[in-house]
Amino acid sequence: MKNSVLLWLLLLSAKAVAQTIPFSLHFDPTKYQSQTLNIGEQTVTVRAYENLVYVGNPVDTAYQKMNIYIPEAYFNGKSINGYTAQNAPIFFPNKVGGYMPAKPATTQDKPMGMRSPSPTPVQPTALLVALSKGYIVASAGARGRVLKDNKGIFSGKAPAGIVDLKAAIRFLKFNDANMPGDANKIISNGTSAGGAMSTLLGATGNNPDYEPYLQAIGAAKAKDDIFAVSAYCPITNLDHADMAYEWQFYGINTYKGWSFGGGNVPSKNLSDAQINVSAQLKVLFPAYLNALKLKDKQGNLLSLDDTGNGNFKTLVASYIMASAQKELDKNTDLSAFTFLTIRNNTVESIDFDAYLKHLGRQKTPPAFDALDGSSPENSLFGTATTDMQHFTTFGKDNTLVEAQTANQAIIRMMNPMNYVGQKNTATAKHWRIRHGSKDKDTSLSISVMLATLLDNKGYDVNLAFPWERPHSGDYDIDELFQWIDTLCKK
């Protein structure tokens, strides 16, 4: 054989091998860079394992990669905050926002990105605080709704994002013996769409629905259930979020508008057609809520009548009262909030409708499955070749554009309500959900329904609506880690 032919054959076979050898799923503890971090008053040295592709057959290595940070102390037999190399919990924050593609978090990130309008600039990120408290941090990137491959095919539509985060959890469990930290103590954290991802990770552990997707990307052969969920303002239960929004905001006919990045748009009026849509959606909510058969702490069935009133509404209002009470207990003057009745430093009652006027509407109806297909969620539910689809019957029936409806199995996979405590599912035992009392990105009822379902199925839930907080996350990091420490040190 001529030399040139031989070379050509060699090159060809090398290329074939390169294409078939999958990325290694084995964590190599020797491949790190040392970083010294100033966190508040502390100086912490960590081993940084960055940009680890966490699946065998990645679709997009710019996103399907993870950063792992491990305190140096754990390689020297030391302990931090009572944790050791054997039992340190793993904090798993994601940076998903707007159901967009997300890079993994790094030690260099600025505190809270786009969703927090007024972050305290000196505050370290949750990732850094976690390291200072002896947690191991693993943060995975994930594909998102606008991502395309090099052929122009969408590669991050639902359920890609949650599948990626589950694959990253599998990587951590697969490598548990070879890595400091306890992969049975993974605590997920996220805000908004990232909060929704966090709730999905917690609700759906090991459920077989996701298996074909995980296999396709070559996820490690391991489980993907997690220990605890922290979720800030989860934008979830998308297929019922439109009716929930109108149950809450019907009759409020002006809206503030919104844009990613927090820019404030002047108030506008709903059109007659939009008010009509609001009325149609509002009346759909009681049937959905009643079918959930949720119960309050006393075991009473929670329900709503045809007008949208009932003890479920009272329960939602009671969370806002509790929030106000907590603020009052800090000696904050709440006299400007005239919808509260306060006597002897006690919040006695709330005029819930007046509170909702104070909160104000942000989105036009339908808030999520937009009839013109323009919402982030329409885009989330697109396909490889279609940018957007509907995902509710109402959206499909009333569409203003040529659009299909997403596959029911995929809609199902994006809603944690379908998985809590189900067969073949290891739902996280511990949950902390926060939704600001001034957050109008989704209905307050979304978090109340999820928390009540979890509670009814025997999971440990801590839900609160921090006073006057707008749509944002990671604003109470000390409390968050106190909560996790209490769980992990039991």
Name the residues that contact ligand DHB, by CB under 6 A: 97-99, 115, 192-193, 235, 376, 441
Closest distance between ligand DHB and the C-beta of residue 234, in Å? 9
Distance CA 160, CA 175 (A): 23
Closest distance between ligand DHB and the C-beta of residue 87, in Å? 33
277 or 488, CB closer to ligand DHB? Answer: 277
Distance CA 467, CA 387 (A): 37
- Taking alpha carbons only, the member of 285, 340, 345 closest to residue 318 is 340
- Taking alpha carbons only, the member of 438, 442, 460 closest to residue 234 is 442
Closest distance between ligand DHB and the C-beta of residue 193, in Å? 4
Listed in sequence order, the residues at least 6 apart from 382 whose beta carbon sits closer than 8 Å to its beta carbon are 145, 154, 157, 388, 389, 406
Q: Could you tell me the maximum CA-CA distance found in the chain, to the nearest angstrom?
A: 97
Sheet (strand 228-232) strand order:
33-39, 42-53, 65-71, 136-140, 90-93, 186-191, 228-232, 430-434, 460-464
Closest distance between ligand DHB and the C-beta of residue 192, in Å? 3
Closest distance between ligand DHB and the C-beta of residue 387, in Å? 16
What six digits make up the tokens of 162? 């949650």
Closest distance between ligand DHB and the C-beta of residue 17, in Å? 41
182 or 441, CB closer to ligand DHB? Answer: 441
Closest distance between ligand DHB and the C-beta of residue 115, in Å? 5
125 or 472, CB closer to ligand DHB? Answer: 472
Distance CA 73, CA 180 (A): 10
Distance CA 49, CA 35 (A): 10
Closest distance between ligand DHB and the C-beta of residue 385, in Å? 23
127 or 235, CB closer to ligand DHB? Answer: 235
179 or 193, CB closer to ligand DHB? Answer: 193
374 or 408, CB closer to ligand DHB? Answer: 374
40 or 117, CB closer to ligand DHB? Answer: 117
188 or 456, CB closer to ligand DHB? Answer: 188
Listed in sequence order, the residues at least 6 apart from 421 whose beta carbon sits closer than 8 Å to its beta carbon are 427, 457, 458, 459
Distance CA 84, CA 172 (A): 17
> Phi and psi (nearest 5°) for 218?
70, 45
In a 3-state reduction of DSSP, which class is residue 108?
A: coil
In a 3-state reduction of DSSP, which class is residue 71?
A: strand
